[in-house]
Structure 1
Amino acid sequence: MQRTLNDMRPVYVIGAGWHRYQPLSEDSYATLGLAAVRGALADAGIEWPAVESAYFAKALLPMAPGRPMLRHLGATGIPVMHVENASASGSAAFRQACMEVASGMCEVALAVGVDKPAPVARGEAAMGIPQLAEDAIVPFTHFALLADQYAQRHGVDQQDFARVAVKNHGNGARNPNAHRQQPRTLEEVLGGRPVSGSLTTLQCCPVGEGAAAVIVASEAAIRRLGVDGGKPVRVTASAARSQRLYEDATRFDANLTEETTRLALQQAGLRPDQIDVLELHDAFTVEEVEYVEAMGLCGPGRAVPLLREGAWDIGGRCAVNPSGGLIAMGHPIGPTGIGQVGEIALQLRGEAGARQHPGARVGLAHMVGVGAVCYVHTLQRD
């Protein structure tokens, strides 16, 4: 029988830090990453020598960048693992850090994600097997087609997808770490430069640079290091899946999300209606609509009416992407999944400031990586 995180000793997020997600700059990746790690250490109230293991998430940086960066904090000899899993790189690194602490192999682990924009080839390019539509069905085309399909299936208007962007740009405007910090009207979103189908630039995530870091620890380490009792947030589930064959192959992202979320909620003993804060992969607006339904937060075709009613707003039934999501927070790739976890930790601690969701006790973080893989984590305040 497969073991889960809850079959091992408890794991807690005790600190989170960021370097703002932003357009490409002259800043070195080390400058970005060290700012995030130092922020996480300060948030946890611990020193660098307390960290026993590190997982470095990246998708665009050159080979093995973690060691040259982390040595500036002190060459303590800890193991450093580099993790690449497309958009889910940060989520995968966080899962590995949690499992190492939960298993008892270490007491305190770091998950840090850093990236800077650079050309990168997908794995299929090296397979030697021609793709019939490789020059036509790029990601934004795929999701524009899904938006058309969803609109026809449920009788919604294309502007309803733009409402997701309005909400998330508004949330990003409250987040000092967000790439996009300007609220947008529905007219501005719809009037943006066309990308594909009904999608405009303001309905697609910006891929820039940035960094995020979280520190996870055992109960014993929390006591030994004297971590403030208000900081720890327990990680109650970690689920990971990869794409398989589905009856409707066009919606593999939603099908994969449904499977992975169901596993995570089973591990944590939770129902979808118990989720207070949700950070999900919204690289394109239609994804948020598809995924909240796939996760079971509402029935098929109900995501848009509930969006119009404010159910997914901060202060609504469930705050969906209070950070701004990938649409406004940004998607530097390596840091993204880790930044989601950090946002949820702040929310559950009641420390999210202007974007605080009242009474948040349960959070879920979700990322899909091209290929496709999916990671879902749940966090709860004890």
Structure 2
Amino acid sequence: MAKILKDLRPVYVVGVGWHRYQPLSDTPYVMLGLPAIRQALADAAIAWPDVESSYIGTGLLGMAAGRAMLKHLGATGRPLVHIENASASGSAAFRHACIEVAAGIADVSLAVGVDKPGIVQRAFTKTGIGNLADDAIVPFTHFALLTNEYADKHGVKPQDVALVAVKNHRNGALNPNAHRQQARSLEEILGGKPVSGTLTALQCCPVGEGAAAVIVASEDAIKRLGIDPGRAIRVTASAASSEGAGAHATADAAITKDTIADALKQASVAPTNVDVLELHDAFTVEELHYVEAMGVCKPGQAIHLLKEGAFDIGGQMAVSPSGGLIAMGHPIGPTGVGQIGEITLQLRGDAGPRQHKGAKVGLAHMVGLGAVCYVHVLERP
């Protein structure tokens, strides 16, 4: 039987940092990534030479982006790995940093995500093997169809799904690192720029630029470096998977169900015992699919719990208190790392106006084009 994170030595998040997610600007990516890393180092109260390895998650920058960035912190000669895994690039970087510390290869490791929008050709366009619907079913059309299907199947209006965006824009308005920082009414969201079907621009994630950084450490490092153990949040599960045979229109929900189940089993946590949930909500209907796939409620019930406020900050479970991809933004490389940072703040009790009272368990979920899925569980010791 394969070992899981809990079988190895404990891993803790000890530092988090961001550069605000924002629309494309003239700011070089190096000047996005460095402030996030420096903030994470300051948060952990350690120095750059204390970091023994670095994992850089990017989806849009091209080769060797980390080397040109990290040299400004000082040349330490420590291992550096670049990871591209579509939307899950940052999540993959975090997972491998955790594995390295858990295995005892390093005591302190950095996971950083940084990206800027650009023209990137997806590899599957170069395979020479086309699909009949490549030009017709683009992502927003796909999720517009899933929105209609969900509404029809469960007897709700497609417009009701936009309530996910109302909640997440409200949360984003409380987050100084969010791309979108304005609360929106349902009328504003429905009246926004049409995208596809009932989907409007404010129901879809903005893909901008930014950075997020997380530092993980062992118990030995926490003691040796004088890191405050009261601010260290344990990573109790890391699960990853890729798409299986027979993929269909709801493949993302299917892979999510299996990967979250794996992570929760590793952590010995029931779905309803998760206090803070950060999801890959690139489009509003995804939140409903993934909450149901997680086992929080039966199929079709998520929309009703949403209306009752169960997923609000202060509700049964805070879902995307950062604002999620819809309001926090989705700069690709940083997204999964930023989710870990948000959960860390929540479990420390440091999330300010976004704080979900009494949060002890958090779960971060990301799907990547392809599809891959990464899920992490964090707990307050």
Structure 1-normalised TM-score? Answer: 0.99
Structure 2 match to 1:110: 110
Q: Distance in 2 between matches of 1:281 and 1:203?
A: 13
- Residues 40-94 of structure 1, C-alpha deviations (whole Å, 9 max, x = no match): 0001111101000000000000210101100101100111100000000000000
Does 2:120 correspond to 1:125?
Answer: no
Q: Distance in 2 between matches of 1:69 and 1:225?
A: 25
Opposite residue 148 of structure 2, the aligned amino acid is D
Provide the secondary structure at the position in 2 that maps to 1:354: helix
Q: How does 1:1-382 map to 2 (within 5 A)?
A: 1-246=1-246, 249-382=248-381
Q: Distance in 1 between matches of 2:374 and 2:157?
A: 30
Opposite residue 375 of structure 1, the aligned amino acid is Y
Q: Distance in 2 between matches of 1:136 and 1:64?
A: 34
Q: Distance in 2 between matches of 1:127 and 1:90?
A: 25
Structure 2: where are the runs of 5+ without partners?
none
Shift of 1:126: 1.2
Which has the larger displacement, 1-10 or 275-284? 1-10
Which has the larger displacement, 157-166 or 102-111? 157-166
Structure 1: where are the runs of 5+ without partners?
none
Q: Distance in 2 between matches of 1:151 and 1:379?
A: 33
- Residues 201-249 of structure 1, C-alpha deviations (whole Å, 9 max, x = no match): 0000000000000000000000000001221000000000111134x71
Opposite residue 11 of structure 1, the aligned amino acid is V
Q: Distance in 1 between matches of 2:58 and 2:305?
A: 35
Provide the secondary structure at the position in 1 that maps to 2:258: helix
Which has the larger displacement, 100-109 or 154-163? 154-163
Q: Distance in 2 between matches of 1:281 and 1:332?
A: 12
Provide the secondary structure at the position in 1 that maps to 2:222: helix
Opposite residue 204 of structure 1, the aligned amino acid is C
Provide the secondary structure at the position in 2 that maps to 1:368: strand
Opposite residue 274 of structure 1, the aligned amino acid is N
Q: Distance in 2 between matches of 1:265 and 1:288?
A: 18
Shift of 1:110: 0.1
Q: Distance in 1 between matches of 2:113 and 2:200?
A: 28
- Residues 236-289 of structure 1, C-alpha deviations (whole Å, 9 max, x = no match): 00000111134x711000000000000000000010010000000000000001
Runs (4+) of structure 1 exceeding 6 A deviation are: none
- Identical-pair percentage: 69
Provide the secondary structure at the position in 2 that maps to 1:181: coil
Provide the secondary structure at the position in 2 that maps to 1:301: coil
Q: Distance in 2 between matches of 1:275 and 1:174?
A: 22
Q: Distance in 1 between matches of 2:5 and 2:146?
A: 34
Opposite residue 198 of structure 1, the aligned amino acid is T
Provide the secondary structure at the position in 2 that maps to 1:258: helix
Provide the secondary structure at the position in 2 that maps to 1:337: helix
Structure 2-normalised TM-score? Answer: 0.99
Q: Distance in 1 between matches of 2:350 and 2:217?
A: 20
Q: Distance in 2 between matches of 1:229 and 1:216?
A: 12
